[in-house]
Amino acid sequence: MAAQIMQPRPRPRGITCPSSSNRRGLLRPPRASAATNGSVRLTVSDAELASRGFAVQRTAEGLDVAALNEVFARVGFPRRQEERLRRALAHSRVVWLSEAGRPVAFARAAGDGVFNAVVWDVVVEPSCQGLGLGRAVMERLVEELRRDGVGNIVLYAEPRVVGFYRLLDFAMDPDGIRGMAYYRKASSPSSSAAAAPSSL
C-alpha cells in the first residue's frame, strides 16, 4: 500500500496563521534546564510562541465561542450550542492559543480540581496543524492541573491521535485499568415492554 501524503487543508477566509518564514518548523525544545518538582517541561515558552504570532490564553475570557465552534467543525468535531459551550467553558480549565484574536489551538479539562480531571476538546486549526500548537496547549493544561495537585488526568482519544498523547506521557490502560462510559440507549416502546420483568 502506498503511503498517503497529507496535504494541509485550504485555509478558510479570515484564518491567518503566521507566515511560513515566521513558523520555523516544529516548536523547539526549551533552552532551560528540565523542570523540577514534578511539573511539566514546556517544549516552547510563551515568549517563543508570541514571537511566532501566537498569544497564550489561560482563561475563557475573550474567547470567541462562534470562532471556536468553526474550528471544531473544520477538524470534524460536532458544532456545539453556543450557550451550552459557554457553560462548559465556565466549568473548565482552559488553555488556548490565539492569532490575531482568533482561536487556533484549544484544550480544556473538567474535574474536581483536587484529584481528577478529564481533558476535552483538544483542537488545532487545520491550517496550523503540524506546528506543535496542540502540544503547546496540552503541556500548559497538564502543567496547570499538576500544579494544583491533580494526579489523575484522563482523556478519550481517537485511534489516529493516540501516538500524539503518548508523546505527552499519556498511557492506554495503565495498570490494566479500562475506561468505561455510560451511554443511554434509545429504546422503542416495543423493546422496553419486551425487556420489562413480568412481575415485581
DSSP 152: E
DSSP 156: -
Q: Is 156 a catalytic residue?
A: no
How would residue 38 be classed by pLDDT, with cut points 50, 70 and 90? Answer: low
User: What does the mean pLDDT of the chain come to?
Assistant: 81
User: Locate cell 498569544: which residue?
Assistant: 55
pLDDT digits (tens, 9 = 90+) for 114-173: 999 999 999 999 999 999 999 999 999 999 999 999 999 999 988 999 999 999 999 988
% of the chain residues with pLDDT over 90:
63
Q: Is the pLDDT of residue 79 over 80?
A: yes
What are the domain boundaries of the chain?
A: 46-170
Q: Which three cell numbers stand for residue 6?
A: 497529507
How would residue 192 be classed by pLDDT, with cut points 50, 70 and 90? Answer: very low
Fold classification of 46-170 is Aminopeptidase (3.40.630)
Q: Which three cell numbers stand for residue 136?
A: 503547546
**Alpha helices (H) along 12-132:** 20-23, 46-51, 65-74, 82-90
Per-residue confidence (pLDDT) for residue 18, from 0 to 100: 54
Question: Which residues have CB under 8 Å from 146's CB, separation 6+?
Answer: 38, 39, 40, 153
Amino acid at 151: G
Average pLDDT for residues 94-123, to the nearest whole number? Answer: 97
* Dist. CA 117–CA 147, nearest whole Å: 13
If you compute the radius of gyration of the chain from its CA atoms, what whole number of angstroms results?
20
Query: 173 vs 109, which has greater pLDDT?
Result: 109
Strands (E) across 7-47 are located at: none
Is residue 55 within a helix (H) or strand (E), and if so which, with residue range?
strand 55-57
pLDDT digits (tens, 9 = 90+) for 66-75: 999 999 999 9
Q: What is the pTM of this model?
A: 0.76
> Which one of the listed residues 156, 165, 182, 183 is annotated catalytic?
165
